Amino acid sequence: MKFRGFISVDLNEHPKLLRFYSSLKQTNAPLRMVEVENIHLTMKFLGDMDALLIDKIAELMEQAVKDVKPFTARFEGTGAFPNTNYMKVIWIGMKNAEPLINIAEFLNEELQSIDFRKEKRGFSPHITLARVKGSRNKEKIQQLLRENENTIFGEQLIDNIRLKKSILSPKGPTYSVVKEMKFGGVEE
């Protein structure tokens, strides 16, 4: 059986982050917002994958986190990919997230052994809030990004990564946890 998969870190609700999210919506710009309950940090997008690979992916996840201790990351700053003049994705940055960079690089490298494509660009820890679908009200978004470029939105203890399944529907994606790996290599 195939399903659409990805490896992520799930986030708690942070009031400042939710206020920024609401402000984005109020710009009336053509944005496709990530549903609040689906906001997460993607460590590795796997795409359509065979369920037979779950155990091998879980092994690699365990190896990636076995020596990592839980740590606190800070959600700080805003921006857009590729840049604020030509916006495709609106994001919030993460600070103190070096362990996640190491985990993502390990997964990116090792998942090639089971035929997952290696990302060419380096991993940059960020939280995607919206995809930009046009330039209407672009100035409002740019202003909001400038106003929040140094805002601290909250902190969170990061102590696990999850293999998740995404089911797409006209109402948007629904995510479910397939495997969770606690830092120190303990499967939940």
| Catalytic option among 4, 40, 74, 136 | 40
14 part of the active site: no
Please compute Rg for the chain using Cα positions: 17
Cα 97 from Cα 42, distance rounded (Å): 13
Q: Where are the alpha helices (DSSP H) in 11-137?
A: 15-25, 54-65, 98-110
**Among the options 14, 126, 138, 164, which is catalytic?**
126
Task: For residue 82, say if its preceding peptide bond is cis, omega within 30 degrees of 0.
Answer: yes
Residue pair 45/151 in contact by the 8 Å Cβ criterion: no
Residue 40 falls in the annotated catalytic set: yes
Point out the residues that are catalytic: 40, 126
